[in-house]
Copies of this chain bind each other. A is one copy, B any other.
Amino acid sequence: MFVSCIAPRIVGVISFSIILTYETYKSVVVRSWPLGIVYRLMQLIIISYFVGYVFLYERAYQVADTATESSVITKVKGFGRLNNAVMDVADYIYPPQGEGVFSIITKIIKTDNQFQGRCSEVTHLEQFTHVFSQCIITGACNTSAGYCEIEGWCPAEDDKVDIKPMPEFVNFTIYIKNTIRFPRFNVSRENFPSTKSIKNCTYDKNTDPFCPIFRVGYILDETQQNVTLLGGEIGINIEWRCNLDHNVNSCVPTYSFSKLDAPFQNASLSKGYNFRFAKYYKTEDGTDYRCLHKAFAVRFDVMVTGIARKFSLIPTVINVIAAVTSVGMGTVLCDLILLHCSKGAQYYKEKKFEEVSEEQIHESLTLKPGSQLSIRRGNSSCNDSGAVSLSTNC
């Protein structure tokens, strides 16, 4: 019933009177300077907030793209001395392919000529109580000496050896090739200053902030950590913060460095960073043997984050509307003052509110039969043509 009452009227409103009338709010203007000051001050605060904070500071007129596509290729250079041998990239980089996450080995504890078999290993007694056995123990134990016979690659590793880490490590250089793409705006950028030769440059945050070649020692100094001895994990953050409303050439990366395992500094377990790998050999008669490497390394993690911003209509419109609507909200506070706390509150009320009560309607319906008739006519005309404006006799 409600729908059948409303629907034709909506159609009527749209079809006929829309081009004929203009509807605006009736306003009450109060000439009172204290109230005016409060009112305008509130509007000023609201406008300042939107202009200053929302639009200028938070740039709410732009959309952001953080879902970036990025590729990183790294290339390390440098020679170092370890265990009386000269190490080059093929020896100390894991993995060798120049990925964004790579480890530079600074120290290796080698256990050479390991064959499958049985041997004794220093085994701490508490390990026996551990719920998961961490090595295969044959059962022949000399508990007083703390030795147990184990089965596996023999001789067992003895990682208590004191080995000096590679001192030349700090002079290695890392060349990082990074490209980034913001798919939302279809913009690609590379970390490579097109105007400049990078052949002999070295990164320095003050003098050469766009050079993509980094000295390891510089990175370690920046993170203020000594990771050479036990290994560690260093983050190389490449941050792209681009305002694409400006020239795209001003979209350049900034580099920063962080020690990623810093929160683990106080952990009793696993200080530093190391991993084990083996090189496999065969004897003349075809028996396998291996050389186990416990490598202490510094892992570099090139992490690329990007955010690009560009003007967009939708957030702009929504925020402008929010701003304009908010300006009108100054009236809420002022109305409270005006209608409750001002001297002439009662007078204002009479001016602002026009009252209509049920009794008045009752009166108007019974006393003015013409009006009553018009309603009947209105109802029928709605069902007939639907062409009734908001302010006609319908």
Contact A355 B321, beta carbon cutoff 8 Å: no
Pick the contact of A99 from B78, B101, B326, B365 — CB < 8 Å? B101
Asked if A357 CB lies within 8 Å of chain B CBs, one says yes
Separation in Å of the A79 CB from the closest CB of chain B?
5
Q: Mark A47-83, 1 if CB is under 8 A from B, else 0.
A: 0010001100010100000110101010101110100
Pick the contact of A21 from B36, B263, B268 — CB < 8 Å? B36
Contact B97 A94, beta carbon cutoff 8 Å: yes
Closest to A306 in B: B67
Contact A175 B270, beta carbon cutoff 8 Å: yes
Contact A36 B18, beta carbon cutoff 8 Å: yes
Pick the contact of A346 from B37, B49, B171, B371 — CB < 8 Å? B371
Q: Which residues of B contact A188 (CB under 8 A)?
A: 263
Asked if A361 CB lies within 8 Å of chain B CBs, one says yes
Report the separation of the CA atoms of residues A77 and B132 in the bound assembly, to the nearest whole angstrom.
Answer: 10
Contact B284 A334, beta carbon cutoff 8 Å: no
Contact A90 B326, beta carbon cutoff 8 Å: no
Contact B22 A29, beta carbon cutoff 8 Å: yes
Closest to A371 in B: B346
Known A90-B276, A275-B97, A313-B53: A36·B24 in contact at CB below 8 Å: no
Q: Which residues of B contact A276 (CB under 8 A)?
A: 88-90, 96
Segment among A139-147, A192-200, A242-250 that sits at the interface with chain B: A192-200
Contact B269 A199, beta carbon cutoff 8 Å: yes
Known A89-B276, A279-B280, A361-B343: A307·B175 in contact at CB below 8 Å: no
For chain A, the count of residues having a C-beta within 8 Å of the partner chain is 167
Separation in Å of the A270 CB from the closest CB of chain B?
7
Separation in Å of the A384 CB from the closest CB of chain B?
15
Pick the contact of A261 from B179, B202, B331 — CB < 8 Å? B179
Q: Which residues of B contact A9 (CB under 8 A)?
A: 336, 340
Known A358-B31, A391-B29: A179·B331 in contact at CB below 8 Å: no
Asked if A125 CB lies within 8 Å of chain B CBs, one says no
Most central of A97, A103, A336 by chain B CB within 10 Å: A97
Contact A237 B69, beta carbon cutoff 8 Å: yes
Closest to A136 in B: B79
Q: Which residues of B contact A96 (CB under 8 A)?
A: 94, 275-277
Known A2-B341, A97-B94: A334·B22 in contact at CB below 8 Å: yes
Asked if A206 CB lies within 8 Å of chain B CBs, one says no
Contact B347 A360, beta carbon cutoff 8 Å: yes
Known A5-B340, A36-B20, A326-B321: A29·B354 in contact at CB below 8 Å: yes
Asked if A30 CB lies within 8 Å of chain B CBs, one says yes
Contact B322 A318, beta carbon cutoff 8 Å: yes
Which A residues between 302 and 323 are near B, CB-CB below 8 angstroms? Answer: 303, 305, 307, 313-314, 317-319, 321-322
Most central of A200, A269, A307, A348 by chain B CB within 10 Å: A269
Contact B335 A347, beta carbon cutoff 8 Å: no
Q: Which residues of B contact A113 (CB under 8 A)?
A: 286
Q: Which residues of B contact A233 (CB under 8 A)?
A: 71, 73
Q: Which residues of B contact A275 (CB under 8 A)?
A: 75, 96-98
Contact A356 B28, beta carbon cutoff 8 Å: yes
Q: Which residues of B contact A277 (CB under 8 A)?
A: 90, 96
Q: Which residues of B contact A89 (CB under 8 A)?
A: 276
Asked if A338 CB lies within 8 Å of chain B CBs, one says yes
Q: Give 17 A-B contacts (CB < 8 Å), ordered by A residue.
A: A5-B341, A19-B33, A20-B36, A22-B338, A24-B28, A25-B352, A28-B355, A32-B356, A33-B358, A67-B307, A71-B235, A78-B132, A85-B116, A192-B263, A281-B281, A344-B365, A346-B375
